[in-house]
Structure 1
């Protein structure tokens, strides 16, 4: 099972900068159990539209079956880890 966390952000987004260290800590602790895909909405508008991203930051956890969970706004570590576990990471 492949688990991916898509991080939709923009360089001008203040809350995105708050989200980054939380994601980095999880990546450090979880290692290869999931992949992170950073999506800059200014450069990849088509991907943002495909996932109907309207606010930043938006985090989407998905696995081989599709989207497991979506978070809008700065999301705490516990919530993200719970979604990753649900997805099978």
Structure 2
């Protein structure tokens, strides 16, 4: 399941999550973001129950995007125990994201 993170649920769903969280910072007008959409959807399915995968629309949630210093999208932020554990900027192959997920969950 893919989540939609907003300022209303960010603390509960991301900061207090007991699982690794992958946040996809995106915008509807962004071509590379649209390219990565199906990749993120598949990762959400593949890691169901192990990793919380969700999206943040930078146009709708400007405060959160600013808090994380998002300047380029797509930007993928990996959160572990309420802290940024890793991040990737730009459209990347799915195995780049899954490698980082596997490394971060293995270290748990």
User: Which ranges in structure 1 are unaligned for 5 or more consecutive residues?
Assistant: none
Give the TM-score, by structure 1 length: 0.90
Task: Tell me the C-alpha RMSD between the 2 structures.
Answer: 1.4
Give the TM-score, by structure 2 length: 0.76
Matching residue of 2:98? 81
User: For the Cα contact (< 8 Å) 1:4–1:63, is it kept in 2?
Assistant: yes
Query: Do structure 1's residue 22 and structure 2's residue 39 form an aligned pair?
Result: yes
Q: Which has the higher contact order (CA 8 A, sep 6+)?
A: 1
| Partner in structure 2 of residue 68 of structure 1 | 85
Q: Which residue of 1 aligns with 2:11?
A: none
Runs of 4+ in 1 over 6 A off after TM superposition: none
Of the structure 1 ranges 47-56 and 57-66, higher mean CA displacement relative to structure 2 is found in 57-66
- 8 Å contact kept, 1:61–1:68: yes
Find out whether 1:47 has 2:64 as its counterpart: yes
Aligned residue in 1 for 2:12? none
Q: Distance in 1 between matches of 2:21 and 2:39?
A: 16
Please list every run of 5 or more consecutive structure 2 residues that lacks an aligned counterpart in the other structure.
Answer: 1-17
State the number of aligned residues: 89
